[in-house]
Structure 1
Amino acid sequence: MPSHFSTIGIPVTSEQDFIDIGQRAARLAERHKVQNGAYYCWQDESGAALWLQLDENDQLIGINPHFHGQALFQVAILTPIKRPHDSPLDGAIRGWANGTAAAPDSGDFPFVFDLPNLALHPELHYPAQVTIRLAAFAHELTLYESAAAFAKRPDPRLQLAAQAFIPTGLFTENDEPPAAQAVFTGTISAWAQKQNGLTGQPFYWFAVETLGGSIDVVADPTLVPQEPVVGGHLEGSFWLTGTLL
């Protein structure tokens, strides 16, 4: 399975690669001071982004890949989520797609998304209705050239509709915290092969309409064996990362 870094054109295969890419990005990044440290955000014209985390001693403690797209998603946020191995600057939120602050659990579905910059929003209160830019990093991906091809797929996953969203990250065992993962299907309204400005490596971007709204999907080229088609469909499993407007 591709890594979240290779999904936006940044091949990382070793700890040294991780350090090198962090140093290169930091020289071009914008600094954001927060409690417990600072974020350094690098972003290029393709939308690929890295959020570097530095502690109060300016030591690198983490790097989160991200994609800054244009898709807007309405969410009622319910609670922040902390996981045992999170750094102080990691963040995740449980919410409902298209829920409201007055009735947050009355939306289309519950889900969890990670945030690369949650510490920039100490004023957040819960529940609240917010708009986010939501990106989905493909773990697995299948493309279909038309609705007819999607309907005739030989092994339809869970018999999903053409626009469906299953928040698989909520289904955990042994009281583990929920993950920012989902399986969904959707219609491709636009796509492009993009190039990461830091590495020169390609990756794919899709604008996808699915249950609940629009999502920017990005994928490692190894997951895209044929040319996508506008108006076609996709199906896959994804990591979800978002930023608040």
Structure 2
Amino acid sequence: MASHLSSIGFPVQNEQDLYSLAEKVTQKAKPIEINQGFYLYYQDPSGAAIWLHADQQQQISGMNPHFVGPSIMTVKIVRSLHKEKDHPFEGSFFAWVAPEEERDHQEGAYPFLFDAPDFLRHSHASYPATLQVQVAAFAHEIDVYPTEEAFAQKRKVGDGPEMAPESFIPAGLFPADAEETSSPTAHALISGHVLDAQKRTNQLTGKSFWWLQIQTYAAVYDAVVDPVLLRTEPKPGFLVKGSFWLSGMIMDQASEPPRTGFLRLLRKGRS
């Protein structure tokens, strides 16, 4: 079964798998100190990344995946968002893509929400602010079309919502039911042209996943896909359409230098 972790080559099926992954990551991770404790950051050569949460009692208490890719975009971040159900280290940012395209009382091409694996490093900054971010779209469902004609033909037979070849719908901002009052989520429906496609191998686990660079409306996104979701291998020039979770990192803040001795964090958390 595909998951956010398997989308970047970390096959996790149960709690023991999660602990084993945390242990492996901690041995290689770079610690970043924050007021509430530490983030432990690991980036695999494939681009797969893990952010562990370590509290002030030096216990591992959470984990978030990310993918570090080349697709950087300019957005206008309006505000941060920490929901009641979020882990203390987790949160999201509400932003507008392509803020230079302000028109019709909008602050950009379209709004969206992205979850930030290093949320606390940026949550207390002053917003609104125009910044650069790198957003990774983790596929929940995805279809691949070799041509625009194939995309258009599939659309005609009623396969899901009608979407232009390059479109972005911030589905997580709209409740499924008009009566719902649920919190917004970092999910989107995306269609676009594949600029680049590579099957990559997570060097920590030896497992493969797909990285796609997708040109959609007003922006280019990195996307990662568990191979089990694909019936057709994507290639540059193909079109894709799917449902995605969005993980984003603000690019204008330098990381703190690594420190040593952090294997004790995991050992203490286990005792």
- TM-score, reference length from structure 1: 0.95
2:203 corresponding residue in structure 1: 197
Question: How far 1:155 moved relative to its partner?
Answer: 2.8
State the partner residue of 2:98: 98
The number of residues matched between the two structures is 244
Q: Which residue does 1:188 correspond to in 2?
A: 194
Offset of residue 229 of structure 1: 2.1
Give the AA of the match of 2:137.
A
Matches within 5 A, 1:1-245: 2-99=2-99, 105-121=106-122, 124-153=125-154, 154-172=157-175, 174-245=180-251
Distance in structure 1 (CA, Å) of the matches to 2:115 and 2:167: 20
| Aligned-pair Cα RMSD in Å | 1.6
Deviation of the 1:122 alpha carbon: 5.3
CA contact (8 A) 1:81 1:177 kept: no
Cα 1:161–1:122 shift into 2, 3 Å: closer
Identity in percent:
36
Structure 2: distance between partners of 1:228 and 1:37: 41
Contact 1:137–1:218 (Cα < 8 Å) also in 2:
yes
Structure whose CA Rg is larger? 2
Displaced runs of 4 or more, over 4 A: none
Q: What runs of 5+ residues in structure 2 fail to find an aligned partner?
A: 252-271
Give the whole-Å Cα distance in 1 for the aligned partners of 2:122 and 2:82: 16
Unaligned runs of 5+ in 1: none
| Distance apart, 1:105 and its partner CA | 3.8
Summarize deviations over 1:190-212 as a string: whole Å, max 9, x none: 00000111110000010100012
Distance in 2 (CA, whole Å) between partners of 1:138 and 1:9 is 13
